[in-house]
Amino acid sequence: MRWRDHYTKGTLIFGHRGASAYAPMNTIPAFELAYQQGADGIELDVHLSKDGQLIVLHDFTVDHTTNGTGMANTMTLAELKQLDAGYKFGAQFQGTRIPTLDEVFEAVGGKLLINVEIKSITEDTDGVEQVTADCIRRHGLMSTVIVSSFNPLALQRFRSILPQVAIGYLYAPDYTFYPEVMDTLPHEALHPYHESIDLALVEKARQAEQVINTWTVNDPAQAVSLRAMGVQGIITDKPDVIRQALA
């Protein structure tokens, strides 16, 4: 099965960092809740730890979502696992840990499509593309994972390692990074910010046989409008709300 074949049942809903309106982002509870709320998939972010382990975390630092401080890539996995990734969200999530991508795949890899965003802002690689490819291959999820990034160079490197896995180009009006690379890099999906979408973009993607997964849409009326335009995937903090809107 190709990645785009999953879209035959209609517009898909992806939990943005899980059901992140209701549970701490990029944690197992948030991903499991997205599934319970009827999401078709989840979106998450990956970095490498100091000792080369693939962790699921949005920022390059741990400051925003945990009780720790500092750059994630300066800490070992053991050090990162000591941090509380849930206490800021409420007492019921106290003690929630930063997961590895392996742990996420083990928890929900058989239930959900997974959009793995590689966090990269440099021309050179730290090896994250290879480790991500190895993890996807190890779990046998080549047809249910799509790899996205704002960094076309990271997508280019990943594609050369594991061409069987779909890739999606993330971009926003005020943030692009070597966009010309995408002109010659085949990619199965576009991941634009929702305000960037118009009928011309939808038609361009259709002609290129690309799907559009847009972020981050929490307004029900907007979700309905985007579906009517032909957008195939909606990434949201509130899978339950958007599921009800698209029912």
Contact between residue 44 and residue 56 where contact means Cβ atoms under 8 Å apart: yes
Q: Name the DSSP class of 157.
A: H
Contact between residue 170 and residue 148 where contact means Cβ atoms under 8 Å apart: yes
Q: List, for residues 118-162, the tens digit of each pLDDT value.
A: 999 999 999 999 999 999 999 999 999 999 999 999 999 999 999
Q: For residues 103 and 27, what is the distance between their CA atoms, to the nearest angstrom?
A: 10
165, amino acid identity: V
pLDDT at 2: 81
Q: List, for residues 79-124, the tens digit of each pLDDT value.
A: 999 999 999 999 999 999 999 999 999 999 999 999 999 999 999 9
Whole-Å CA distances, 87 to 83, 100, 202, 219? 10, 19, 41, 27
> Is 16 a known active-site residue?
yes
pLDDT at 67: 97
Q: For residues 145 and 115, what is the distance between their CA atoms, to the nearest angstrom?
A: 6
Question: Which residue among 6, 16, 191, 194 is the active-site one?
Answer: 16
Q: Where are the domains of the chain?
A: 3-245
Question: Which residue among 6, 58, 139, 194 is the active-site one?
Answer: 58
End-to-end CA distance of the chain: 25
pLDDT of 47 over the 90 cut: yes
Name the pTM for this structure: 0.98
3 state SS of 119: coil
pLDDT of 180 over the 80 cut: yes
Burial 88-114 (b: 16+ CB within 10 A, else e): ebeeebeebbbbbbebbbebbbebbbb
3 state SS of 225: helix
Q: For residues 169 and 110, what is the distance between their CA atoms, to the nearest angstrom?
A: 24
pLDDT at 197: 97
Q: For residues 151 and 177, what is the distance between their CA atoms, to the nearest angstrom?
A: 6
User: In CATH, what is the architecture of 3-245?
Assistant: Alpha-Beta Barrel (3.20)
Q: For residues 149 and 147, what is the distance between their CA atoms, to the nearest angstrom?
A: 7
Structure tokens at 64: 């925003």
Q: Is the dihedral of CA 108, 109, 111, 116 positive or negative?
A: positive
Q: Interior CA angle at 193 toward 33 and 200, to 5°?
A: 125
Contact between residue 137 and residue 162 where contact means Cβ atoms under 8 Å apart: yes
> Is 194 a known active-site residue?
no
